[in-house]
Structure 1
């Protein structure tokens, strides 16, 4: 098995995983992020992307070869 982190993946794979992570974060805590963005006058999309990146770095990517 090969263990990689997010930065070891190619850019196409990173973009695909980032979009999946955004959907995951939005489904789990989208309303809380939106409320936080409105309360603190922040950009929702920026917050979503930051949370999606944090979410990705919590994953372990394992590939069987």
Structure 2
């Protein structure tokens, strides 16, 4: 079995997966991240970006060859 690494994908695919992950993170954790950012005086966009990248490595990839 081949286990793909996110870093080995082309730029267009990486960008697409990043945008999907960001939408997913904002949908699932947006309110919690916003409250955490306010409470700790952090940048909300930076928190979302960090969670987006973490979320990418939780995806299951399926390739049709």
Same fold (TM over 0.5): yes
Structure 1 length as normaliser, TM-score? 0.89
Q: Which has the higher contact order (CA 8 A, sep 6+)?
A: 1
Matched residue pairs, number? 65
User: Unmatched 5+ residue regions in structure 2?
Assistant: none
Moved over 2 A (4+): none
C-alpha RMSD of the superposition = 1.4
User: Unmatched 5+ residue regions in structure 1?
Assistant: none
Structure 2 length as normaliser, TM-score? 0.89
- The structure in which a higher percent of residues are strand is 1
